[in-house]
C-alpha cells in the first residue's frame, strides 16, 4: 500500500477486502502509468500500453457484474479505483471512466430500475453480448454523448438519431469530444429515436462498432489538457446497428438519468486523484524528495508551511465530500443527497484545479517545467469543471433551483 496520506481513502476508512485488493492492484500499476503519462501528454496519443496493462490485470471487467464474468464493482468501488488511477495518469483515468461506466450503467445501475419482465429479459440478452466482448475479447467501450447542443447538459433531445429499419437501427449525426476516438472497439452513443417530434424520453443508448460502415473519426486534437484522451469528432452517416447494439432498453436511459443521479458523478474520481497527486508532489518537492530536481529544501520557511497547510485543508475537505457522496449513491436518493452530489461534483472539479494552482505557486518556477508532472496535473485538472452534464456552472444552477423550488412549483 502506498503512503496512506495519499491514498484515496486513507488508512481508517472501512473497505471490503475486495475493494482493498483492487486499490492495491491499481497502486501496483500506477508507477508505470505515471512514467508513461508525459509521453501521452506530449504526443496527445492514446495510452494503449496502459490499457494493455488494465486488460491483463482484469480491470476492463471491473464493473461487469460477476454473473457475466466480471469483478462486479458498484459505483462506490469503481469511484475509489478510478480516483486511485487518477493519481498516476489523468487521461487514463478519464478514458477508463468512459469504459467502466459503459459497463456499470447497463449493470448494477440498471438492476435498480423498473423494467417489464420482457424488457428485463431483452436487456439481459443484450448486455451478455456486450460483457462477453469485454471479458472474452478485451474490448474497450467509449461514451460519446456530447454534441455541442443542450442535449449533453440534459436539457434537450440528442440530435443524433436512430431510425428503425429492418433488423435494427440506422444512426445519423455527430458527436464531439469523443474520448478514446480511434481506440475504442465500441462507441456507446446516446441518440434519439427518430419520430416526427424528438423527445428526451426516447433516448436510445447504442453500441456502435469502431469499424462500422458509415462511421468516421474527423478533426484534430490539440487541447490544453487531458491530451491522452484523444477526444476527436465522430460522424455517423446511415450507420446500421442490429437490435442487440442496445446497451439499455428503450426509455431506460431516461429513467436512469432521473432516478440514479450519481451516475453523473463518475467523472469526478479522476480529478480527486489529480488533487491528491498535486498535494503529494508539493510535500515531496518541498522535502527535497522529487527525483531529478536539485535539493531544494524550502520546508523551513513559514510561508511554505502555511501554504502546505492550506493545501492540506482543501484536500481533506474535498476528499471527505467525495467519500460522503459515494455513501449517498443509490437509486432515488433523497433530496439532501442529490444536493450534496452536485456540491461534491462542484467541489472536486473546482478544487482539483485550485490545488494544482496553489501547488505550482508554492513549489515555484522550477516545478512547472515540463520534465515534472505538476504542470500537466494543472492543465488536466482545468478540464474537470467543463465536463457535461454536471459542469461547475450547471451544478450551481441545479443547487440554486432545486434548493428554492420543489418539483412542480413555480412563481406563476
Ligand X SMILES: Cc1cc2nc3c(=O)[nH]c(=O)nc-3n(C[C@H](O)[C@H](O)[C@H](O)COP(=O)(O)OP(=O)(O)OC[C@H]3O[C@@H](n4cnc5c(N)ncnc54)[C@H](O)[C@@H]3O)c2cc1C
Residues 178-197 that bind ligand X (CB under 6 A): 178-179
Is the separation of the CB atoms in 201 and 233 below 8 Å? no
Q: Is 265 in the site for ligand X (CB under 6 A)?
A: no
Rank residues 44 and 128 by Cβ distance to ligand X and give the closer one.
44
Min separation Cβ 412 and ligand X, Å: 21
Min separation Cβ 48 and ligand X, Å: 17
Residues 122-151 that bind ligand X (CB under 6 A): 143-146, 148, 150
Min separation Cβ 144 and ligand X, Å: 5
Min separation Cβ 96 and ligand X, Å: 11
Count interface residues toward ligand X (CB under 6 A): 24
The gap from C-alpha 217 to its chain's centroid, in whole angstroms, comes to: 21
CA end-to-end distance (rounded Å), the chain: 58
Min separation Cβ 116 and ligand X, Å: 29
Of 29, 341, 377, 388, the one binding ligand X (CB under 6 A) is: 388
In our burial notation (b when 16+ CB lie closer than 10 A, e otherwise), range 247-265 reads bbbbbbbbbbbebbbbbbb
| Residue 26 in grid coordinates | 491499481
Q: Is 335 in the site for ligand X (CB under 6 A)?
A: no
* Number of residues that make up the chain: 412
Min separation Cβ 174 and ligand X, Å: 12
Residues 203-262 that bind ligand X (CB under 6 A): 226, 229, 231
Percent of residues in the chain assigned helix, strand, coil, to nearest 5: 55, 10, 35
Rank residues 184 and 321 by Cβ distance to ligand X and give the closer one.
184
Q: Is 391 in the site for ligand X (CB under 6 A)?
A: yes
| Residue 182 in grid coordinates | 480511434
Q: DSSP secondary structure string, 80-142?
A: HHHHHHHTT-HHHHHHHHHHHHHHHIIIIIHHTS---HHHHHHHHHHHHHHHHHHHHH---EE
The 3-state DSSP class for residue 142 equals strand
Min separation Cβ 395 and ligand X, Å: 9
Q: Can you tell me the distance from the alpha carbon of 170 to that of 168, in angstroms, rounded to the nearest whole number?
A: 7
Q: Can you tell me the distance from the alpha carbon of 141 to that of 129, in angstroms, rounded to the nearest whole number?
A: 13
Is the separation of the CB atoms in 206 and 245 below 8 Å? yes
Rank residues 307 and 382 by Cβ distance to ligand X and give the closer one.
382
Rank residues 386 and 403 by Cβ distance to ligand X and give the closer one.
386
Contact range with ligand X by CB under 6 A, out of 121-129, 195-203, 247-255, 391-399 = 391-399
Rank residues 25 and 190 by Cβ distance to ligand X and give the closer one.
190
Rank residues 174 and 304 by Cβ distance to ligand X and give the closer one.
174
Q: Can you tell me the distance from the alpha carbon of 239 to that of 170, in angstroms, rounded to the nearest whole number?
A: 5
Rank residues 134 and 152 by Cβ distance to ligand X and give the closer one.
152
Site of grid cell 520557511: 301
Query: Cα angle at 27 between 96 and 79, to 5 degrees?
Result: 45
Rank residues 93 and 276 by Cβ distance to ligand X and give the closer one.
93
Is the separation of the CB atoms in 57 and 50 below 8 Å? no
Q: Is 386 in the site for ligand X (CB under 6 A)?
A: yes
Is the separation of the CB atoms in 195 and 251 below 8 Å? no
Q: Is 98 in the site for ligand X (CB under 6 A)?
A: yes
Q: Can you tell me the distance from the alpha carbon of 107 to that of 62, in angstroms, rounded to the nearest whole number?
A: 11
Q: Is 341 in the site for ligand X (CB under 6 A)?
A: no
Rank residues 110 and 391 by Cβ distance to ligand X and give the closer one.
391
Q: Can you tell me the distance from the alpha carbon of 104 to that of 175, in angstroms, rounded to the nearest whole number?
A: 22
Q: Is 155 in the site for ligand X (CB under 6 A)?
A: yes
Is the separation of the CB atoms in 228 and 45 below 8 Å? yes
| Residue 176 in grid coordinates | 464531439
Min separation Cβ 85 and ligand X, Å: 15
Min separation Cβ 65 and ligand X, Å: 23
Min separation Cβ 74 and ligand X, Å: 22
The 3-state DSSP class for residue 196 equals coil
Residues that bind ligand X (CB under 6 A): 98, 143-146, 148, 150, 152-153, 155, 177-179, 226, 229, 231, 383, 386-388, 391, 393-394, 397
Amino acid at each position: 500500500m502506498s503512503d496512506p496520506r495519499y491514498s484515496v481513502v486513507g488508512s481508517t476508512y472501512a473497505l471490503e477486502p475486495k475493494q482493498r485488493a483492487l486499490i492495491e492492484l491499481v497502486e501496483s500499476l500506477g508507477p508505470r502509468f505515471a512514467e508513461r503519462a508525459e509521453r501521452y501528454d506530449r504526443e496527445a496519443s492514446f495510452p494503449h500500453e496502459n490499457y494493455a496493462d488494465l486488460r491483463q490485470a482484469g480491470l476492463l471487467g471491473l464493473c461487469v457484474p460477476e454473473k457475466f464474468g466480471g469483478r462486479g464493482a458498484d459505483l462506490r468501488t469503481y469511484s475509489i479505483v478510478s480516483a486511485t488511477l487518477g493519481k498516476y495518469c489523468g487521461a487514463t483515468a478519464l478514458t477508463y471512466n468512459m469504459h467502466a461506466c459503459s459497463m456499470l450503467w447497463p449493470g448494477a445501475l440498471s438492476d435498480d430500475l423498473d423494467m417489464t419482465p420482457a424488457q428485463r429479459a431483452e436487456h439481459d440478452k443484450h448486455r451478455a453480448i456486450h460483457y462477453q466482448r469485454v471479458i472474452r475479447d478485451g474490448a474497450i467501450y467509449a461514451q460519446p454523448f456530447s454534441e455541442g447542443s443542450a442535449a449533453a447538459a440534459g436539457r434537450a433531445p440528442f440530435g443524433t438519431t436512430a431510425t428503425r429499419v429492418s433488423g435494427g437501427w440506422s444512426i445519423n449525426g455527430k458527436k464531439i469530444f469523443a474520448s478514446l476516438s480511434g481506440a475504442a472497439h465500441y462507441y456507446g452513443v446516446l441518440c434519439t429515436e427518430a419520430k416526427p417530434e424528438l423527445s428526451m424520453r426516447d433516448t436510445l443508448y447504442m453500441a456502435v462498432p469502431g469499424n462500422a460502415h458509415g462511421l468516421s473519426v474527423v478533426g484534430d486534437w490539440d487541447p490544453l489538457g487531458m491530451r491522452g484522451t484523444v477526444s476527436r469528432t465522430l460522424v455517423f452517416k446511415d450507420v446500421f446497428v442490429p437490435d442487440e447494439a442496445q446497451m439499455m432498453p428503450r426509455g431506460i436511459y431516461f429513467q436512469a438519468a432521473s432516478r440514479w443521479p450519481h451516475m453523473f458523478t463518475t467523472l469526478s474520481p479522476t480529478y480527486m486523484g489529480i488533487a491528491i497527486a498535486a498535494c503529494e508532489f508539493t510535500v515531496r518537492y518541498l522535502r527535497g524528495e522529487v527525483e531529478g530536481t536539485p535539493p531544494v529544501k524550502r520546508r523551513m520557511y513559514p510561508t511554505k508551511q502555511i501554504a502546505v497547510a492550506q493545501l492540506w485543508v482543501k484536500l481533506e475537505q474535498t476528499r471527505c465530500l467525495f467519500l460522503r457522496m459515494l455513501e449517498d449513491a443509490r437509486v432515488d436518493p433523497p433530496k439532501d443527497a442529490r444536493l450534496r452530489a452536485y456540491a461534491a461534483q462542484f467541489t472536486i472539479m473546482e478544487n482539483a484545479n485550485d490545488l494544482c494552482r496553489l501547488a505550482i505557486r508554492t513549489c515555484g518556477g522550477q516545478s512547472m517545467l515540463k520534465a515534472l508532472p505538476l504542470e500537466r496535473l494543472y492543465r488536466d485538472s482545468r478540464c474537470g469543471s467543463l465536463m457535461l452534464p454536471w459542469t461547475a456552472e450547471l451544478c450551481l444552477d441545479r443547487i440554486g433551483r432545486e434548493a428554492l423550488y420543489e418539483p412542480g412549483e413555480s412563481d406563476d
